Amino acid sequence: MHWLERVNKELLLVFSLFVLAGLLNSLVASQRVVLGLYTLPTVVSAYLYGRRHATLTALASVLLVGLLTWYNRDLLGPLENWSMAITRWLDVTIWGGTLIVTGYLMGTLCDHQAEQLSELRETYNGVLLILRHFISKDQYTENHSYRVSVYASKIAAALDFGPERIEDVRAAALLHDIGKLDVSREVLYKAARLNEGELAEMRTHVDKGVMLLEPVGGTLRRVIPIILAHHDKFDGSGYHQTAGEAIPIESRIIAVADMYDSCTTDRPYRKAMTPFEVREMIVNGSGTEFDPDVVDAFLTMFRRGEMEVSFVGV
């Protein structure tokens, strides 16, 4: 039924454009302007739906203009003699042929662009998969990153992010700790609190992660500023001095998701806290450590029972 709903929306849009063209038609008398109005549905169809829709819409436009011209001889302006009528029909025919060819070519261009975007998306997901394989050398980091990506995506959805921005949040969350690959195992798995030197080494994982990702380029570069700022705090007391709105909203989302997962799972130096205990910690950090809007979105998803994922071992 999803495809039927999509087709109905497409037909409604094209029909609305024809109605708009018809209404504007009644306000103008110039032949060129009238024909230009009936070009609009084809151009929009080519841009939004591709070659097939554009070609069919162009044919519909030509048929509609032909019928209207046949039943209303003065549609494109008054006719004084048969010579003018023949010239006008010739103009309409040339316009119609040009419109069909234009719709076909514009729609083809749109289809090619959509295919290229699809290929880029596949490449993008492939690079993510490869990078995740590198992360899998550290089982905790891999599982933690997966869960954070799920939590962060849910929070982003609660903030009404579009699909592309949610995908950026998911990708950044999957890779946010990739720099820990270059942190010593002794520090990562130390069964006690870290000293100052060890904390300093742990903090380098953010910059190291960015250095690992910078050569990748392309679409993946969008997530680098997100990863760079995911330990920045709302009040400016984080890894960097940025604060408030200066921190990318995606980073503020990951900060909450990261805290939630880190505290609800066992670590070498402490046992996991309950989700309700961690929720209170996050609420208490609203306005200082965390963005209040992000905290509100987190609470919305928490109340819905969305801040849970199928168990992934640590």
Q: Is residue 68 packed enough to be buried (19+ CB in 10 Å), middle (13-18) or exposed (0-12)? A: middle
The CB-based long-range contact list for 263-270 (8 Å cut-off, 24+ gap) reads 265/144, 265/147, 265/314, 266/314, 268/189, 268/190, 268/191, 268/192, 269/190, 269/191, 269/192, 269/193
3-state helix, strand, coil in the chain (%, to 5): 70, 0, 25
User: CA distances (Å), 146 to each of 40, 45, 206, 237, in order?
Assistant: 46, 39, 17, 27
Residue 100 tokens, joined: 């069909």
What type of residue sits at position 21? A
Options 9, 180, 190, 271, the catalytic residue: 180
Query: Degrees (nearest 5) of the Cα angle 262, 263, 268?
Result: 75
What gap in Å lies between CA 146 and CA 157, rounded to an integer? Answer: 17
CA pair distance 17, 14, nearest whole angstrom: 5
Helices (H), 72-138: 82-135
**Is 208 considered catalytic here?**
no
Catalytic residues: 180
